Every structure is written in C-alpha cells, then in structure tokens.
Structure 1
Amino acid sequence: MEVKIGVQYAPREIVLESGQSADEVESAVAAALAGTSQLLSLTDEKGRKILVPSDKIAYIEIGEQAVRRVGFGTL
C-alpha cells in the first residue's frame, strides 16, 4: 500500500510502499496525532523503518498499492 506523508517545513513529501494494511497505518497515525507516541513509525516493504515526529505531520495520504505496468500501450 502506498503512503504519502507531508511534513511541515519540508519541500517534498515522504512516499513509501508499506506491507501494512490500511487499518494498521491509520491506527499508527491516529496514535501519533493523539499524542500517545511522539513519533509516527512505519515500515516499508524492504524492511526500512521511517520515523516522523508527530508534531511535524502536515497530512497523510493512504492509497492502494500501485500496479506496475510494463509496455507502451494503454489498456
């Protein structure tokens, strides 16, 4: 699943492919924004951990996993 994180005072957003479900990502974001944790911690498909301070989060976009298309034609 694709997750985009907008961070305050950063010119670019953080984009990652996560193996977590949408509900797991949403609960982690809700916990970070509620103040129960100071960091939003997500793990991407390669096992790397992304940590974002919860007070610097501007927005989170949770989307479906992008399907990689091969070729020149559109279907």
Structure 2
Amino acid sequence: MTGCNPGGTEAVEVKIGVQNAPREIVIESPQTADEVENAVAKALEGTSKLFALTDEHGRRIIVPAERLAYVEIGEQAARKVGFGTI
C-alpha cells in the first residue's frame, strides 16, 4: 500500500514487531493511520502475503505477513517546524 498524504504535513509513527527479531522496526510514515491499519488487516487475513509500508523518505519496508508479531500505530501529528526554546 503506497498511499501518501499529498501535503506531507502529517506523519504517523509505526512500530512493527517481527517474530524472532530482537528489535522492533520504527518508522515515520506519510500514510494515514487508516491506510496502515488496512495494510495490516490484509496481511493478517491472508489477502496479502506481505506487509509493506513506505517511510517518509520513500523507502519500502516489507515484512512477511506470517512473521508479524504486532503493529503499533501512533497518532497523526503535525510536524514541528523551527527551533525549540533554549
């Protein structure tokens, strides 16, 4: 699933747990939370044998559906622009 927000102003953090892997995969995705959830559902119901997402840099993350342990979808938030207070 490759749907992206056209404005690029919001991102959702996605944490992917993979069976038999010591660390989770954490990405910022321009896809909406609903798009990520739909991709997970298709992978788990067998419609798709792969769970695939695109991160905010255009890289594709592909995990075999049978190896998914969990997927945590964070809230969409507007990106912060500028410098923080010192």
1:70 shift after superposition: 3.2
Match of 1:36 in 2: 47
Deviations 1:6-46 (CA, angstroms, capped at 9, x unpaired) = 00000000000000001000000000000011100100000
Unmatched 5+ residue regions in structure 2? 1-11
Conservation of the 8 A alpha-carbon contact between 2:16 and 2:72:
yes
Work out the percentage of aligned pairs sharing the same amino acid: 65
Q: CA deviation at 1:64?
A: 2.0
Q: Name the structure 2 match of 1:26.
A: 37
**d(CA) in 1 for partners of 2:55 and 2:84?**
23
Matched length: 72
Partner of 2:16: 5
Give the TM-score of the pair, scaled to structure 2.
0.76
Structure 1 residue runs without a partner (length 5+): none
**Equivalent position to 2:61, from 46, 50, 56:** 50
Distance in 1 (CA, whole Å) between partners of 2:23 and 2:84 is 27
